[in-house]
């Protein structure tokens, strides 16, 4: 067990578990019986999960943050919004240059520095969310070349700043707790302006890749339910995370 992360958070991470190695921090929280706000941090993941069945592991201990947090008493609508709220919290810890690629990838200089996977967990009548956040902190630029990750980067590679994993964990929980408190009281509306201000997808041409077809549209704004409002030929439509994959026409955005 390492030292507690320095954090002002009261309930988010009050109960926390550090594991030197685990398959996936998300899976760990999905299996046990833990209180609201429980946080799991791992030094290494051996079967870390990304979105769309991709894997998320690989960085040596101390170079990346692998953190999952459990939120109890969630409603189905929350599952579409939590990724955006976690993205907002993560972006705020990564400095003024951090931007969000809808719905929740955090970018530095148009490369991915943080990925988020929120999953639901149902136990009896209790619906909970497991929000997994992976942040590339201290990998050198060569790590991404050697691992054929041309669209990924780390805080160190971009800023030259080395940040201990538990310091980042504390910063993240400090951002996440007030966001969750306010969200539980007031919903997503108060976060829309801040999210939109950081969302690098807006105002860009995006390819909406659906199973049957790919269309090019303009990303316009964020819907109250967290969907991406797009326009094409004067018509607007909303796409939801998981429904379509949005790729910028140029570069990673
Ligand atoms: C993505 O962008 O594909 C999502 C990546 C999510 C990775 C994090 S790391 C901590 C947590 N545990 C997992 O197995 N996945 C998430």
Nearest-atom number in ligand 1 for the CA of 48 is 14
Over residues 224-233, the mean pLDDT reads 95
What mean pLDDT is reported for the chain? Answer: 93
Asked if the domains at 16-197 and 202-248 fall in one CATH topology, the answer is no
Name the strands in the sheet holding 111-123, side by side, starting at the edge strand that comes first in the sequence: 16-22, 39-45, 64-71, 126-136, 111-123, 105-108, 99-101
pLDDT confidence band for 5 (50 / 70 / 90): low
* 191 vs 249, more confident: 191
pLDDT tens digit sequence for 87-127: 999 999 999 999 999 999 999 999 999 999 999 998 888 89
Residues with CB under 6 A from ligand 1: 24-26, 45, 48-51, 54, 56, 66-68, 105, 115-117, 132-134
Which pLDDT does position 249 carry in this prediction? 65
The residue contributing the CA closest to ligand 1 atom 2 is 115
Question: Domain-by-domain residue ranges, the chain?
Answer: 16-197, 202-248
Cα gap 88→190, rounded to integer Å: 12
Q: Which CATH class is domain 202-248?
A: mainly beta
Q: What percent of the chain has pLDDT over 90?
A: 80
Of 90, 34, 96, 97, the residue nearest 67 (C-alpha): 90
Instruction: Name beta bridge partners: 207.
Output: 216, 247
- Give 16-197's CATH code, choosing from 3.40.50.1360, 3.30.930.10, 1.10.3720.10, 3.40.50.300: 3.30.930.10
Over residues 31-44, the mean pLDDT reads 95
pLDDT tens digit sequence for 171-211: 999 999 999 999 999 999 999 999 999 999 999 999 888 77
């Amino acid at each position: 067990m390492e030292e507690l992360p320095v954090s002002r958070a009261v309930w988010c991470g009050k109960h926390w578990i550090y594991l030197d190695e685990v398959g996936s921090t998300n899976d760990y929280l999905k299996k046990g019986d833990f209180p609201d706000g429980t946080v799991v941090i791992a030094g290494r993941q051996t079967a870390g999960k990304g979105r769309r069945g991709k894997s998320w592991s690989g960085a040596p201990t101390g170079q990346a943050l692998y953190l999952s947090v459990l939120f109890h008493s969630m409603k189905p609508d929350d599952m579409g919004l939590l990724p955006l709220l976690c993205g907002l919290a993560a972006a705020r810890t990564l400095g003024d240059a951090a931007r969000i690629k809808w719905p929740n990838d955090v970018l530095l200089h148009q490369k991915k520095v943080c990925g988020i996977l929120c999953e639901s967990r149902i136990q009896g009548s209790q619906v909970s969310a497991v929000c997994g956040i992976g942040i590339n902190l201290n990998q050198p630029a060569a790590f991404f070349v050697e691992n054929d990750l041309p669209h990924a980067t780390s805080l160190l590679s971009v800023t030259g700043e080395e940040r201990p994993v538990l310091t980042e964990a504390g910063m993240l929980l400090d951002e996440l707790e007030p966001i969750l408190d306010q969200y539980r009281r007031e919903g997503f509306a108060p976060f829309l302006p801040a999210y939109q201000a950081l969302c690098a997808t807006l105002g860009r041409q995006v390819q909406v890749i659906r199973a049957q077809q790919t269309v090019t549209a303009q990303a316009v704004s964020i819907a109250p339910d967290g969907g991406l409002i797009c326009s094409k030929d004067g018509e607007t439509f909303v796409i939801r995370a998981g429904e379509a994959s949005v790729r910028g026409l140029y570069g990673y955005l």
